[in-house]
Amino acid sequence: MQIQVLGTGCPKCKTLMANAEAAVKAAGIEATVEKVDQIADIMKMGVMITPALAINGVVKSVGKVLSAEEVRKFL
């Protein structure tokens, strides 16, 4: 499973990244969590407001800092 946190590095983006990593650990699953911080790459995914969360290339949340539990529900 590939989890992407889309954002340019703002505090909200960093919080979402930490929450995504915590969710993966809590779920005990094999997943790669990566940061996408290039504006062009973010826009290619159709995201105009960050932070955003994508799982396996599908955007699941935009403009919201999800808690670890909210991220885990998407997993």
For the sheet with 52-55, list strands across it. 32-36, 2-6, 52-55, 58-62
pTM to 2 decimal places: 0.93
Looking at 10, 26, 39, 43, which residue is catalytic? 10
Instruction: Check if 63 is active-site.
Output: no
Per CATH, the homologous superfamily of domain 2-74 is Glutaredoxin (3.40.30.10)
Instruction: Check if 45 is active-site.
Output: no
Looking at 5, 13, 47, 54, which residue is catalytic? 13
- Please give the average per-residue pLDDT across 46-51, as a whole number: 96
- Please give the average per-residue pLDDT across 46-53, as a whole number: 96
- Please give the average per-residue pLDDT across 54-75, as a whole number: 96
Name residue, tokens 């995504």. Answer: 20
Note the pLDDT of residue 9: 87
3 state SS of 61: strand
